[in-house]
Amino acid sequence: MSAVSLTQIVKRFGNFTAVHPMSLDIEDGSFVTLLGPSGCGKTTTLRMIAGLLDPTEGEIAIKGKRVNDVPIHKRNLGLVFQNYALFPHKTVAENVAFGLNYRNVGKEDARRKVAEALDLVQLPDLGARYPKELSGGQQQRIALARAIVIEPDVLLLDEPLSALDANLREDMRVELKRIQQRIGVTTVFVTHDQTEALAMSDQIIVMSKGRVEQVGAPEEVYNTPASEFVAQFLGASNLLAAQCTDISGGEIALDLADFPRIIIAQKRAPKISAAGPVKLVIRAEKLLLRPAGTAPDGMLSVNATVENVDYQGQSARYFLRVGDHQMQAINMIEDHPFAAGAQVALTFRPKDCAALPLEVGS
């Protein structure tokens, strides 16, 4: 049984459709991320699952039970929001116990459950403090403890890490995944951060303009994007106009100006079934810059000019020109990056390439 099932759900606000027909099954115990830019419909979808918004059409089921008409407090869901929503006048222990007060849990059981939840989020000694006495990261952990103490059927997280600074956000990302795996709760996570989605998810639902662009494991959506939007939104990609000239033997031949012929496995271009114009997709970190005239065995090479360099410490982001193509590459560096104006060999493996059909207007 799926933990959450969405069947052709739609959400309209007047004449505006925020979520177009969407069907989805979320496996019990999985960590699923709704990923996309602001306004793509991901938070609206989460709020419909939570019961904070009613779907205009379609059905929502939790643990096999239709919940369209079930109010939020009867859905047994844990929620964590971006602003944590802690009660400033209540202690940490009282905040965590809030949901238990409405579930007829005895005082002793409630104290035990609160202590276990605080221990799980590694804040066992802060029960007597107030939210204003806590750091942002500690408040986030308390909000999480409050959500999981009720033993929810599903944990819903709406951009819970976005208010934290970069280093703390990385730490909390690891911690949140650890907690989810330990208790095994089905989790639906909303974020616009691609790194968070890739690092934490069992499954990613990429959304754009209220529509689902792709559903799959992190490796699948990253290495074999289903659309130009996914290729561009999920990491840094180069999309180059090319011609599919042959499909045979489970392989596809691609030709484009200033490049040697590129042969890729057909599974890296599942939507291409006939010869014609396509888009070649190469992730920026799959391109390796070498001194001009050199290329490792098994790699293709093209001549490129470094136009600009974005130095990032251990790595550098290069903006390059290959004939009429503008490209970018992200490489680790040991000392100094190649300088602007340098002539280099841009090398890559055919197996790291993918291809997409040419979209209207692209």
Going by pLDDT thresholds of 50, 70 and 90, the confidence category of residue 352 is very high
pLDDT tens digits for 248-302? 999 999 999 999 999 999 999 989 989 999 999 999 999 999 998 877 778 999 9
Mean pLDDT confidence for 21-38: 96
pLDDT tens digits for 171-204? 889 989 999 999 999 999 999 999 999 999 999 9
Residue span(s) of the chain under CATH 2.40.50.140 come to 236-357
Helix or strand or coil: residue 338? coil
3-state secondary structure 237-288: EEEEEEEEEEEECCEEEEECCCCCCEEEEHHHCCCCCCCEEEEEEEEHHHCE
Mean pLDDT confidence for 8-27: 97
Query: What's the chain's average pLDDT?
Result: 93
Q: Which CATH class is domain 236-357?
A: mainly beta
pLDDT for residue 113 is more than 70: yes
Mean pLDDT confidence for 98-108: 88
pLDDT for residue 360 is more than 70: no
pLDDT tens digits for 38-95? 999 999 999 999 999 999 999 999 999 999 999 998 999 999 988 878 999 999 999 9
Please report, for residues 225, 237, 238, 264, the alpha-carbon distance to residue 270 in angstroms, rounded to integers and kept in the order given: 10, 18, 18, 11
pLDDT for residue 362 is more than 60: no
Structure token pair of residue 355: 């291809």
Nearest to 169 by CA among 136, 198, 123, 143: 136
Q: Are 66 and 59 in contact (CB under 8 A)?
A: yes
Structure token pair of residue 119: 């221990």
In the CATH hierarchy, which fold is given to the domain comprising 4-223? Rossmann fold (3.40.50)
pLDDT of residue 40: 96
Mean pLDDT confidence for 344-360: 91
Give the Cα separation of 295 and 282 in Å (integer): 17
- pLDDT over 90, % of the chain: 82
Residue reference for tokens 């830019």: 37
pLDDT of residue 98: 92
Residue span(s) of the chain under CATH 3.40.50.300 come to 4-223
